[in-house]
Chain A
Amino acid sequence: MPQQNVNADSFDDDAPDDAAPPAAAAASTDALDALLDEIDGSLQINAEQFVRSFVQKGGQ
């Protein structure tokens, strides 16, 4: 995947630090890891095409 966004770092400044998950999160870390692997697997499809084709009409 090519780098599409040269400004990514500037948005990192806004983002909270992902490091050091709190104790409450520890219990679900394994589940999260497993889910991340599954997401990774599903994204082996053409993610760009999937994003492009998700088009909705405006609603209320």
Chain B
Amino acid sequence: MRIVGLETEYGITDPADPRANPILLSSLLVSGCRAWAGEATTRWDYGGEDPLMDQRGVRRPRTHVIPELLTDAHEFNAEAGSVTLRRRRGSWEDPAHLNAVLTNGARFYVDHAHPEYSGPEVTNARDAVIWDRAGDAIALEAAKAYATAEGTSVALYKNNVDGKGASYGTHENFQVRRDVDFDMLARRLTAHLVTRQVYTGAGRVGLGMRGERPGFQISQRADYIEAEVGLETTLRRPIVNSRDEPHADRKLWRRLHIIIGDATLFDVATFMKLGTTSLILSAIEADDERLDALTLAEPVGDVQRVSRDLTLRETLELADGTPATALQIQRALLEIARDYVADEVDAHVIARWDSLLERLARDIFETQREVEWVAKLQLLGRLRSKYSSDGHDAPWDDARIVAAEIQWSQLGTGWATRLEAAGATERLVHDDEVASAIHNAPTNTRAHLRGSIIAARPDIVDAAGWSTVVLDREASHGQLEVVHLDDPARASHPLIDELLRG
């Protein structure tokens, strides 16, 4: 079991007004999301993020009701659960309604110039797929509410590039033990992040950051990765991001933030992205030295090398000079990962991993029901042939091909969604599971506490963050109560549980 989570920044346009301000559009979409959610939503708790707004230094014990919950200084205490007091700042409103924290434990908000859905904490790759799809459905509900309120429509895209130079992210989060040395972690994880795109890539028309050269490549994100390790997420993006913001007990945990991945509409792609990476992290936590043999000589260049090699036969150079293809490296990683299977979901990941690598090596089109870049290549290949002239397929930079690729990722009506509706894409999760996840949080992580209290008692929830729920109960001490949820894997807190029991 490993806590994981997925964040998606959607592309956004007003089809009737291509020059509409995307920040305004995104903020109106979040307002739409709040309208859709009705009462059952709350604003974001910036208290833990911005020291100027953090009043946790001012603490005094509450004098009534479960006094054992209160601590003078906030320290993680899983058994007791902890609550601290925060001075009211007077009335404040989330600026321009930029956030909605939802009953399913997710955060829907404006990040830069994009609407973003940050899914709730889940414990396995399959649940990640369910709550990721729920996010797409929520974004569509928000778009519907937007259309009602604004009298015009908004189009959302689950992709990562606009073909003009801009890229926006789909981030994975993995809880990793703090005692793992970070440099070691980055070194041992890199080969996987560089080569996993052969089954996690969403496919992209255009080569280069601005798509300046025609062609098709495996990954949306590859051309925007320029460093091995770093803090940046918007410039000089790294293979391994080093942001240290655990949203959990810092003494015990890291939150590994992975920004190299593509937005994926295929269940199998999303499932494998999280499932395989989690298993490699288990090998790293166990200090498995076999991973060192897979260190790449030029990992940054290799990200693009792999992305451009549709034959999957080109070799990369390992640090000791040995040549290996991405598929061979993936096969070696799979053999290591077999030793870290801990549950049924892991076992499914391993079986699928094995099968995908075997079929990708034989004929990539055998995976077109599961691997998004292969399905996209197949569909666009047919379209190029349909638009052929003088016996030549239409070129990759034919505007119709480029347009069809953008439309592929449109939420709700895109070609990927239509392929799935036609039964041409393999599903791993059921529609009723997704429908439930739109409203309900996972029951086995702290997202349950966040989501359930917003659903049951929105009247007393002042704000919520990843590791806090802020209550405003007009208590005699006259302060807000900050409920600390420092352990992402703990779905119980005495105070929240008591409030949920009514």
How far is A32 from B399 in the complex, measured between Cα atoms in Å?
21
B368 sits at the interface (CB 8 A):
yes
Residues of B within 8 A of A34 (CB): 422
Check A22–B422 contact: CB distance below 8 A.
no
* Cross-chain contact B381 with A1 (CB below 8 angstroms): no
The bracket for how many chain A residues form the interface is 35 or more
How many of chain B's residues have a CB under 8 angstroms from any CB in A?
68
Q: List 27 A-B contacts (CB under 8 A).
A: A1-B387, A1-B394, A3-B389, A4-B398, A7-B213, A11-B215, A14-B311, A16-B311, A22-B363, A24-B368, A32-B419, A35-B419, A35-B422, A47-B403, A48-B399, A50-B403, A51-B402, A51-B406, A55-B162, A56-B114, A56-B166, A57-B112, A58-B112, A58-B234, A59-B114, A60-B168, A60-B234
Q: Which residues of B contact A5 (CB under 8 A)?
A: 214, 395-398
Kindly list chain A residues whose C-beta atoms are within 8 Å of the C-beta of B387.
1
User: Is the CB–CB distance between A32 and B382 below 8 Å?
Assistant: yes
Q: Is A59's CB under 8 angstroms from B111's CB?
A: yes
Pick from B213, B308, B378 the residue with the most CB of A within 10 Å: B378
A5 CA / B22 CA spacing, docked (Å) = 32
Neighbouring B residues of A55 by C-beta, 8 Å: 18, 162, 164, 166
Within residues 287 to 324 of chain B, which ones have a CB less than 8 A from any CB in chain A? Answer: 308-311
In the complex, whether B404 has a CB less than 8 A from a CB of chain A is: yes
Q: In whole angstroms, what is the CA distance A16 to B384 when docked?
A: 14
Chain B residue with Cβ nearest A28: B424
In the assembled complex, B1 has its CB within 8 A of some CB on chain A: no
Known A32-B378, A36-B383; 10 more pairs at CB < 8 Å: A1-B394, A5-B396, A5-B398, A14-B216, A39-B379, A39-B415, A47-B399, A54-B162, A54-B406, A56-B11
A28–B379 alpha-carbon span in the complex (Å) = 12
* Interface assignment of B113: CB less than 8 Å from any CB of chain A: yes
Within 8 A of A (CB), among B380-439: 381-383, 385-387, 389, 392-400, 402-404, 406-407, 415, 418-419, 422-424
B164:A18 contact, CB within 8 angstroms: no
The CA-CA distance from A42 to B399 in the complex, in Å, is: 13
User: B6 in the interface, Cβ–Cβ < 8 Å?
Assistant: no
Annotate B136-171 by CB proximity to A: 1 below 8 A, 0 otherwise: 000000000000000000000000011111111101
> Which B residues are in CB contact (< 8 Å) with A50?
399, 403, 406
Q: Among the listed A11, A38, A58, A60, which residue makes an inter-chain contact with B171, where contact means beta carbons less than 8 Å apart?
A: A60
Please state if B168 and A51 are interface contacts (CB–CB under 8 Å).
no
Q: A1-B387, A25-B365, A60-B171 are in contact. Are A53 and B399 (CB under 8 A)?
A: no
Task: Decide if B163 touches A54 in the complex (CB within 8 Å).
Answer: yes
